[in-house]
């Protein structure tokens, strides 16, 4: 397991324009670990999600996107998807559901782009990582920490693969039940 250290980028401060905002600590959010950036000049503070490109960070974003997308598909199907075609209004309602379910992602992305990256700083020994240290945490926090160590597309496709496997296994069990047990396997 790699140690999770704070984001090593430097960012532009929205308040005073200083280009050397750095993150020295991280904090756990609902499903992810975020970096706390502080401006050395005006002490302005902001909590930003992990970056979504690159090999690390942003796994939680990918997972949220996949879960939000699946939830939208299911709900829109239940609510108005019984006919063969979606009307324009139903398509708009579906899009609205998707935006609603995934709104935390858009907020995170919005926040990230409000603080443009200006460079990278050197890692120092005081960089704290124990907040996200997998050895010290319970299963939920371990999961969050693992999410934090992968990138967004891995998180996204991980969920899709897990759901596909789950549905596949459920279908297989149903088929075995129907074919070999005359639909009596579960009473």
Residue 40 within binding range of Zn ion, rule CB under 5 A: no
Please pick, from the candidates 5, 8, 12, 18, the single residue that binds Zn ion as defined by CB under 5 A: 18
CB 33 within 8 A of CB 18: no
CA gap 132, 116 in Å, rounded: 24
Does 15 bind Zn ion (CB under 5 A)? Our answer is yes
Annotate each residue in 68-107 with x if it binds Zn ion (CB under 5 A) or - if it does not, as one string. Answer: ----------------------------------------
First-to-last alpha carbon distance for the chain, in angstroms, is 46
Quick one: 13 or 150, whose CB is closer to Zn ion? 13
d(CA 65, CA 106): 10
- C-beta of 169: minimal distance to Zn ion in Å? 53
Residue placing its CB nearer to Zn ion in the complex, 13 or 60: 13
Q: How far is the CB of 9 from Zn ion (least distance, A)?
A: 16
Q: Does 129 bind Zn ion (CB under 5 A)?
A: no
User: What interhelical angle do 59-80 and 88-101 show, nearest 10?
Assistant: 150
Among the listed residues 122, 131, 123, 154, the one whose alpha carbon sits nearest the alpha carbon of residue 52: 154
The token pair that represents 151 in the structure block: 């990138």
| Site size toward Zn ion, by CB under 5 A | 8
Sites of contact with Zn ion (CB under 5 A): 13, 15-16, 18, 39, 41-42, 44
């Amino acid at each position: 397991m790699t140690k999770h250290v704070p984001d090593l980028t430097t960012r532009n401060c929205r308040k005073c324009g200083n280009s050397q905002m750095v993150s020295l600590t991280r904090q756990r959010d609902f499903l992810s670990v975020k970096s706390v950036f502080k401006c050395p000049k005006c002490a302005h503070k902001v909590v930003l999600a992990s970056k979504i490109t690159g090999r690390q960070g942003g796994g939680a974003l990918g997972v949220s996107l996949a879960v939000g997308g699946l939830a939208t598909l299911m709900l829109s199907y239940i609510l108005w998807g019984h006919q063969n075609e979606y009307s324009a209004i139903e398509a708009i309602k579906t899009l609205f559901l998707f935006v609603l379910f995934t709104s935390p992602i858009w907020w995170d992305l919005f926040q990230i782009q409000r603080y443009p990256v200006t460079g990278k700083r050197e890692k120092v020994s005081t960089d704290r990582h124990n907040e996200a240290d997998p050895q010290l945490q319970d299963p939920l926090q371990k999961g969050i920490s693992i999410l934090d160590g992968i990138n967004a597309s891995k998180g996204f496709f991980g969920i899709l693969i897990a759901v596909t496997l789950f549905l596949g296994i459920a279908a297989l069990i149903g088929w075995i039940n129907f074919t070999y047990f005359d639909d009596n396997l579960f009473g």
